Each structure stands twice: as C-alpha cells, then as structure tokens.
Structure 1
Amino acid sequence: MRSCSGWRRFLLCFSLLLIIFHIFSGSKALNKSHFLTPSNASNVGDSISFVTVFTIYSTSLDSHADDKSSNLVTVGNVSYTKKERSMAILNVFINFIEVTMPQSNVIILADPESDLSLQRNKVTLYPIQGEYNRDKLMLQRIRSYIAFLNTRLKELAQNPGHTSHYIFTDSDIAVVDDLEHIFQKFPNFHLALTFRNNREQPLNSGFIAVRGTPESILRAKIFLQDVLEVYTLKYTNASRMLGDHLALAWVIKSQPNFDLRRFSKAQAFIEEIDGASVLFLPCATYNWTPPEGAGQFRGMPLDVKVVHFKGSRKRLMLESWNFFSSASDISDMLCLILMSGRTRYDF
C-alpha cells in the first residue's frame, strides 16, 4: 500500500510539473507576440485588405427563437441573441485587425438584401448577389471570392496603380500579429493556402492570401474556379460545410508530382499548381484553432499569428477580446485561450 501511495504522489507531482511546464512554455512563446500600434507599424510596402463573407439569418423562425430567454448566451456582462452574437463576432474580427494591422482595410462580401447596419472606419460592405442560405453558404463563399477577384481584375485594367494584397478569411478569426511579412518574405507566390497534417482534410479554406498583382489575381481566380467546379461535381452533399476543404484537397492531391508528405511538417513551401505559384503556410502559425478542451494543456504553437475560433469556439473569441480589452496585453489574452478549462464550447 505504501509503494502504491508513493506512486500516486509521484504521478500527482509529475502531472503538476507538466502543467507548470506547459504554462511556462506557452507564456514564453506568447511573449514573442505583440500588437502593433500606428506608431510602430510599417508605412512601407503595399496595402493589405482582409476580405470575408458574412450574412445573418433572420427568418421568422429564428426571430421567434431569439425572443426566448433560453436562447440568450451571456459573455461577460452582455447577453446576446443569435443575431447579436453574430454581429459581435464580426465586430471582434474587425477589432483585432484594427489593433494588429491598423493600416489595413476590411471588405465584407454580403448579400445585397442583408442589412448589417455596420458603421466602422476602414470597413467596406461589398454586395454580391448569390445564394446565402445555410446549406449553400460555403459554395457561395467561393463564388463571392471569384466575383470579387474578377471585379478587381477589371478595376486594375482600367486604373493600374497602387497594389493591394488580399487576405480572404472566415470572420471568426483573430489576427494577433502583423501578416505583411508573408508578401515580403515570399515575393513570388500568386496565392497562399494553409495546411495541416490531416489525411482527409489537409487544407483549410479559412485563410487564403492573394498577391495584388494582375497576374496573381488572375491565377487565384482560375484556381478557385477549379475548386468550385470540383466542389459542385463531387461534394455537393457537403455544401453546408467541409465541402470546400475536400475540394481544395482534391485539386492539390490530383497534381501528379505533389508530395503529400510535405503536409507532415509545419514548414512553409511553394509549389506550382496548374500554372499558379501556391504558397503553403502551416495552420499551426497562420490558422491555429484552440482544441476542444483546451484545459488539457496541449500547448500553443510558437509565434501563432492567426487564431481561428471555428465552430463552437466563438464564445472564446468574445471572451478573448474582452480579456484583452481589460488587460491590453496579447500574452495575457492568448494565455486565456491556452488555459481555458472549458471541455466544450456553446456557440
């Protein structure tokens, strides 16, 4: 019995040491990150615009459900209906960009019929006709990206001049470090995708960067048209979600000389895909998602630059912004994400 009791004490102490190690390692990594302010942000180089597709579902059924107090979700001192929390997520998405990359613009591709009532500096609503219902939203997102790039190509043909790069993202991400270096460090890519070590879904469409030159925009448009074609032919049964990831993977895997083993290492690389120079960036840095049950101390990547609060983690996105607003410290905010004891999220 004594040896068994001693073994339990050893396991307890060892577990505590692991927790301390992870907290220390996480904090050490997080302290490397910082928010830029207008005074230290670079004024050199081309501009960057963040582009996202956003819609609000306001059917009578949803409106009736929102009237019920049981459907309210409280974060901090604020209670949200479904519509209100969707708008809160969008505003927090913009807030993080304003702090980390204050020179950047935000472009919201939206259903012309929707009334977002959004008045923010450096934010533009860009109406695009399409099918924005829940079951077709992921398909519509790719169509909206293509339509936007096509319009931008026409504008550049008429008025060539200042280059603006584009980063297409989901609206449930937090940009926690400047991303301008992507376009400076890798000067020759046309578009960039994020990857992870996942056999079925190695690519995530929540982050796509496009260089703002006419050739790059054209190559990105053609690439996305290929993805859309695969999506509609092979994955319409997954049109509500995941189909875009599967279609992206199919386009890349269909390349005869592409080495899928490159996805096993979290290192950036460039490949030619049907005439486009595609930069592959690791999700661990540019599209990192907190694991469900983050309180298990699985750790956080060094120098994480984009946090993706996908799925039900959106509450944590609001909590993170509230925490940052009160502390004004990126390391504190990211530690909140790292040490969240929640085993499941409820958004």
Structure 2
Amino acid sequence: MTITRLTLKNFRNYAQLRLEATSGFIVLSGENGAGKTNILEAVSLLSPGRGLRRAGLTDIASETGAGDFAVAAEMGDVSLGTGTSVDQPERRKSRVNGAAVPTNDLAQWLSILWLTPAMDRLFMEGATGRRNFLDRLVTALEPDHAHNSGRYDAARRERNRLLADDSTPDPGWLDGLDGQLIQHGAAIAKARFRAVDALNNLLAASDDGLFASARIALDDQELRDEGSLRQAIASSRSADRAAGRTLRGPHRADMRVYHRAKDQPAEKCSTGEQKALLFSIILAHADLIADQRGNRPILLLDEVAAHLDPQRRAALFAKLAAKGGQVWLTGTEPELFKDIPEDALHFRVNQGTLDLR
C-alpha cells in the first residue's frame, strides 16, 4: 500500500498540489499553520469516514476556491479519488480508476492508520471517540465493516424517526428495521471482537521496552451474536419508544484500554503512558494488517516526534524502517527527523507550497 502520487485541488490552503512519493518515510516539516497536517488529512480521506480531523466537507474546501475540493492518489496502476463538486458541496463522491464507487469501498484498496495530537484525549472523553477509533481499526482489517456500519446507522436513524413520531409506528415496519439492525449489528460486533482478540494476542507477545503494552476490552460482551442482539432489541422496544431512540446495540459499545504491566485503566495513567499505549496499539495493528491483508498500512503520524525523547524517537524510527511500508510524518523542526533513513523524502512546507529538502 504505497501512494506514488498525491494530487490536491482546493484543499484547505492548497489551491493546487502534486506530490510525488515513494515507499518508506515522507517527512513534512514547517512552522505551525503551514499546512503539514492538511496533507495528512487529505491522505486520510482516501479511506471511509470523515478523516483524521472529522471535519465537515464545506470546512475542507479552500476559501479561495469555488466551494469544491478534490483528493487523488496513484498507487501503481490504481487511482483513487474523493471530493465534492460545486453544485453539491456537502456530498462526498469517490472514484476508483475513474469509476464512481461508494466511499466505503475505498477500504478495499487502502488501509490507513493515524495518530494525531487530538487523540491524546481519547481515553478521557466519551465513548463515541473510542468507538470511532476502534471502527477505523476494524475497517482497516475488514473493509466490509464500513458497509455494515453504514447500513446499521441508516436503519437506526429510520427506526429512531419512527420511535420519536407522535403516532404509533407500524409494527411490521419496525420489525423490518429491527431485522436490519440485527443483521448488520451482529456483523459489526463480531468484527470488533475478532479485531480486539487478534490485537490482544499480538500485544501480549510484544516487547514493551519501546512503548507500554496495552490490553483492550469491549463492553456489551453479551451482544456479540444475532440471538443476543435480537433478544436485547425486542426486550427494549417499549423503553425505546418512551425514549424516542434505540437504546441497545453496537452503537452504544465502548472500548476500554488498560496498561498491561500495571493492570491499570488508561484513563488513570499519566499523559505519557496514555500516548505510549496508543503507540503500542497502532504499531501492533499495523503488524496485524500486514499479516492478514498481505500489505502494511499507510501510517500518518502527526507531530509525534516532538513528544518523544531522543532515544525513544530513534528507536521508533528504526522499528518503522525495519517493518517497511509508507509512513508520513510531520514536525516543526527538521532536526527531529535526523535519525530516519537517508533515502526518506523530506519536504519543507510553507503556506501551500512544498520544497524537497
């Protein structure tokens, strides 16, 4: 999984950009606000979901453009593209080799993982962020997870609309929607548990000398198959009707992370330990993708080097170099990347322009 050319149009502070890339390290250095993270965000949008910033589509389009934006990538003889049009700026469209596809289908071609400074709050905030994080990991392993999630969410929105209506909903209509929730919800739960079980096996065997090893657990252990989900939805229909929304299901699940050596919840760990736990999960997950899909994922690491001491930073770069794959890194100071391989591409970013160092 290597992007060989990235092209942007009307994307954030880039009116036009064409970046030629290779496998290995791609470093983007420059002052804060220069546009480094914008490039990582563009790459992240070549996967299902809202990208690493989870921004609205109209917020992404350049203020100097016509209201649309486009991101395109070449990977050998495969081309991927996503973006909006002037007449439909709030609707994202995607293409593979020029043919229109659902955006969720991008996961069939690329696995992309990222770490950003905003993710430092992952363990301290609500379950939604952790659930989104987990679902990105699952989709990178099993691309069909994005399809099941989309179908589940569509059925739940329609069910919630019926439940919130003042008139009594048609039981047959609710039964049909419940069937969709059960079918796609069970697929979601099973995929999550498969990913967590596989990750925990890798994390348990990993060397925690570089980063603290994590252990992951999921809530709602009882809702991991069709039978248990069917029973939960049927038994809560009256409560759902009173609340005007669906109260049980995988959309309420939470991911818990523990410091394995200390057997301590991540939210009670220090800030440095929380960051280390995130690193250990991402690195283990990259290995899992390589094992199960045959290619290493693309890693987007935003401002991670500045938060590591020199020894740990050098060890991380050495580990990433040994594993292979394409790694995009950002940082304010070029000196932060002195330990990366000499064949790395290093660009200086300056307000919508890139210069190869």
TM-score, normalised via structure 1 length: 0.31
Instruction: Flag the structure with more relative contact order, 1 or 2, with Cα contacts below 8 A and sequence separation at least 6.
Output: 2
TM-score, normalised via structure 2 length: 0.30
